[in-house]
Amino acid sequence: MSNLRDTRSPALPNILTNVCRGAIATATLLATIPLLPATAENLEHTRQLLSTKQCQQCDLRSAGFVMADLSSSQLQGADLTRANLSRANLAGADLTGANLSGTSLYGANLTGANLTGANLTGTDLRDAYLLNANLSNTSLSSAYVEGATGIPQNAGKPEDFYRWALTEAQGGNYQAAIEYYNQALTMNPEFAPAYLGRGLVLYRFGNEAAATQDAKIASQMFSTQKNATGYQASQNFLKGMELARQPAKKGGGSNFLNFLGSLGSLLVQFLF
């Protein structure tokens, strides 16, 4: 028995001590963090909405409705500030005048919903479905709409759709970018940057013929509008595509790709 040794690592006690100290420190830190006041979520109003789908003028701040079925709910004038409605079904819901500031509607189904006059400041509408939604008297200029489907034209200005197109293109969502460019041009057929931006996306999409056509239209419009920067960018794009069709030269392809990247950055400047 006297020959038996303690085979435990000598560092083990120190490790356990440090773990315990860390746990105590964490617990101490959590104890110092003030709890949110009870008014952060009005449980009575939350239960009312879930059970009746009738909650006009309700206080639903910071409430959680993830994946909830709230189709056809009556939420006129409700305060949903910072509420979580990610992937909730709000098809046909009436959110007229609702406060959705900072609200998460990520992936939510808002098909046919009435959002007239709603506050959408900082609202997360990424991947949301907005087909046939009414967005009259609202602004999506500060909302997050990447991947959103079915945004109606009355939801923004041509510059808004142009900006959303740039965001989608930067994320590699070329089809969505083209759709936003199309909407911007439908609203303002003289919006030259949208032609140039769409041309760039079409080229990356493999449609060189359509890209060339858009670049030529952009070049002509920029010239008419006396926008030297835009005109030169359009001309460089046309020349770059022409060079890319010629037999590859050492370093030539990479130079054109670098130019495409710089052109994408230039497109952002047309917003200002």
Residue 172 lies in a domain: yes
Q: How many CB atoms lie within 10 A of CB 105?
A: 31
> Does one domain contain both 43 and 110?
yes
Q: Is residue 156 over pLDDT 60?
A: yes
> Does one domain contain both 173 and 104?
no
Mapped onto helix, strand or coil, the DSSP state of residue 171 is: coil
Whichever domain contains 192, its CATH number is: 1.25.40.10
What is the phi-psi region of residue 221: left when phi exceeds 0, alpha when psi lies from -120 to 50, beta otherwise? alpha
Please write down the HEC assignment for all residues of 42-84.
CHHHHHHHHHHCECCCCECCCCECCCCECCCCECCCCECCCCE
Q: Is residue 15 over pLDDT 60?
A: no
Whichever domain contains 114, its CATH number is: 2.160.20.80
Of the listed ranges 75-89, 134-148, 195-209, 253-267, the least confidently predicted one is 253-267
pTM: 0.71
> Does one domain contain both 152 and 246?
no
- Residue after which a domain boundary falls, among 113, 136, 156: 156
At residue 7 the predicted structure's pLDDT band, cuts being 50, 70 and 90, is very low
Residue 213 lies in a domain: yes
pLDDT of residue 72: 98
Residue 32 lies in a domain: no
Range of the domain at 91: 39-156
Residue 7 lies in a domain: no
When divided into structural domains, the chain yields a total of 2
> Does one domain contain both 172 and 271?
yes
**pLDDT, tens digit, 9 for 90 and up, residues 112-137:** 999 999 999 999 999 999 999 999 99
Residue 55 lies in a domain: yes
Q: State how far the alpha carbon of 52 is from the alpha carbons of 56, 65, 72, 254, 259, in Å.
A: 11, 14, 11, 61, 57
Residue 2 lies in a domain: no
Residue 21 lies in a domain: no
Structure tokens at 13: 């006690």
- Residue after which a domain boundary falls, among 115, 131, 156: 156
pLDDT of residue 242: 84
Average pLDDT over residues 80-107: 98
Q: Is residue 33 over pLDDT 50?
A: no
Q: Is residue 4 over pLDDT 70?
A: no
- Cβ 199 vs Cβ 218: under 8 Å: yes
Angle between helices 192-204 and 174-187 (to 10 degrees): 160
- Residue after which a domain boundary falls, among 108, 136, 156: 156
